Amino acid sequence: MPDLGFTPPVRPVVAPHAVRRPGAAAGAAAALSLAAAWVHLAYTASHWQDWWAYGAFFLAMGVFQGLCAPAIVRRPRSAPVALGVIAGNLAIVAMYVLSRTAGIPLGPHAGVVEEAGAVDLGVTAAEVAIVACALALLRPRPRRLLVGALLVAGSALWLLRLTGRLP
């Protein structure tokens, strides 16, 4: 082909299943995860004084949430990373709700219902926001399936609670 002195513009090839860039959701999830990790690590010593397993639990939560931040930033579209972040933070939120409603499940304070404080509620709200951000990082089909499963599980828990089969 003869050289006409110009090059035609190159159009980027975009696959039909391409998804938007994760920027804001990944950044928010990572920042909130670091904040939650910092709080859990800050409270590790005081919980360790109550019982070593309470302290170990707070240490594990802090380390987990601290490691979630770089994992999310480094691999924001990784389904295993997003699912791990979602599962871990939902487990932490579930333990918080359990300890504030039915009481601490084990240890020297087993059965004692903890009071909800401002810091606790703030960190729990951050953990729920981390879950929402991690859900946004999933591709549409897995996100729909997971949101549906969470809604069914939540509805089942409420039904069990309202019928008196769950404390």
Using one digit for the tens of pLDDT, what is the confidence trace for 110-139? 999 999 999 999 999 999 999 999 999 999
Residue 145, pLDDT score: 93
Tokens of 81: 């990373």
b vs e for 92-115, b when ≥16 Cβ sit within 10 Å of the residue's Cβ?
A: bbeebeebbeeebeeeeeeeeeee
pTM for the model: 0.83
**In one letter, which amino acid is 10?**
V
As a whole number, the mean pLDDT across the chain is 90
The candidate with the shortest Cα–Cα distance to 119, out of 96, 140, 142, is 96
At 33-67, the pLDDT tens digits run: 999 999 999 999 999 999 999 999 999 999 999 99
At 21-40, the pLDDT tens digits run: 678 999 999 999 999 999 99
Residue 89, Cβ density class (10 Å: 0-12 exposed, 13-18 middle, ≥19 buried): buried
Mean pLDDT of 9-19: 54
